[in-house]
Amino acid sequence: MNNCYKGERLLCVEGVLVKNNFNCAFFLVYGAHNRDAKIQVWEELSYMTGLCQVPSCYMGDFNEIVRVDERQGTDVLPRSAEEFKGWIQDMHLVDLPLTDRRFTWFRGRSCSRIDRALVSLEWLEEFPKTQIRGGPRGLSYHCPVIVEDMKQKGGPRPFRSLHSWFTHEDFLIMVKEEWRGLGEIQFTDKLKALTIPLRGWHKANFGDMDNKIMKFEEEIKKIDDLVSNGVYDGTMEARRKELVICCERWYVRKEIRWKQMSRSQQAKEMDKNTRYFHNIASESSPTVGFRDGLVGRIEQEKSVTLEALPTMEEIREAVWDCESSKSLGCDGYNMNFIKSV
């Protein structure tokens, strides 16, 4: 065990799994009961994730559902559940499916799935077949959650575009060359094919970031040791300055990467488009054609406007209005990548 962090409702243990020398962190969570306290727990988890900066597994009683079928007799998600889903998305976590039962908490006729395990994408890269099952409940209201690795390596690793790539002077040049080389195929197929050279480029240029930083720091220390022993010349000082610049560049790249991985404010800043349009559609205002609870026929001129295809400028404005860290979907490309290339 390297580090241990303790909060009011969570415990974080960071260390190395000896069997495969895997540096990681386990977060044990005991969820709060009211919405404000839940948000505070999620913010604290985000903060501690930033301190650890290693692949992580979050386990325990989160006291929250993410789908209506996770609570018996529920057909609408509460506000706190929607916010919890947003936090999971913004932290880029995977909610592991429960393999052997629907619910983990029982009290009388009430039952819910509020006990769960969430893992980071880096965790799944190391353990791609991680799954969870419930243990015997016994006298408790809760079933224990058991995380298992099925030890079946292989298969594609999750792809994700990184903000830090754009700090490399050759990145955009490489992307444009690879894009042209893919020829005239469907846009989505092109994006999928582009992941292959991007993975190779990432491995060659950004692989083992900590080791790169360590080598620069060691070289800087060697020069400092020589200076301490009275050995100094202009060439040595120029070499040290060059090493410091390179080392600082990698510090920045590492900071950008972990800022992307752990953003504690994202849950507060995420878009509210769904709720906004739902509220607009629900208003009984004559200006939008509602009459006695029924939708009236709109004018022909408005109908033509609504059915018109969006212009390229309108599409561009819609894309640029999206928050840059948001991902379009399971392809792994976030909006920052789409805007920049």
Query: pLDDT tens for residues 109-138?
Result: 889 999 999 999 889 888 888 889 888 887
Q: Can you give the pLDDT at residue 179?
A: 87
Q: What is the DSSP pairing of strand 56-61 with strand 22-30?
A: parallel
Neighbours of 46 (CB within 10 A): 19
pLDDT given at position 38 = 93
Domains along the chain with CATH numbers: 3-149 (3.60.10.10)
Six-digit token string for 96 = 């592991």
Q: Which tokens go with 72?
A: 């018996």
Question: What 3 state SS string does 235-303 have?
Answer: HHHHHHHHHHHHHHHHHHHHHHHHHHHCCCCHHHHCCCHHHHHHHHHHCCCHHHCEECCEECCCCHHHH
Spell out the per-residue pLDDT of the chain, length 341, in tens: 567 888 889 999 998 888 788 899 999 999 899 999 999 999 999 988 888 889 999 999 999 999 999 998 888 999 999 999 999 988 989 999 888 888 999 888 889 999 999 999 889 888 888 889 888 887 788 988 999 887 654 455 677 888 889 889 999 999 999 888 888 888 888 888 888 889 889 988 888 888 888 888 888 888 888 877 878 787 888 888 898 898 888 888 888 877 776 553 443 343 434 333 434 344 433 433 334 444 456 677 776 777 777 788 877 777 777 766 655 555 667 777 777 76
d(CA 3, CA 16): 10
- Residues 6 or more apart whose CB falls under 8 angstroms from that of 77 comprise 65, 66, 67, 68, 85
Has this prediction a pTM greater than 0.75?
no
Instruction: Indicate the residue type of 44.
Output: E
How far is 88 from 74, CA to CA, in rounded Å?
Answer: 21
Q: Which two tokens stand for residue 135?
A: 């243990």
Please say whether the beta carbons of 243 and 219 come within 8 A.
yes
CB 146 within 8 A of CB 131: no
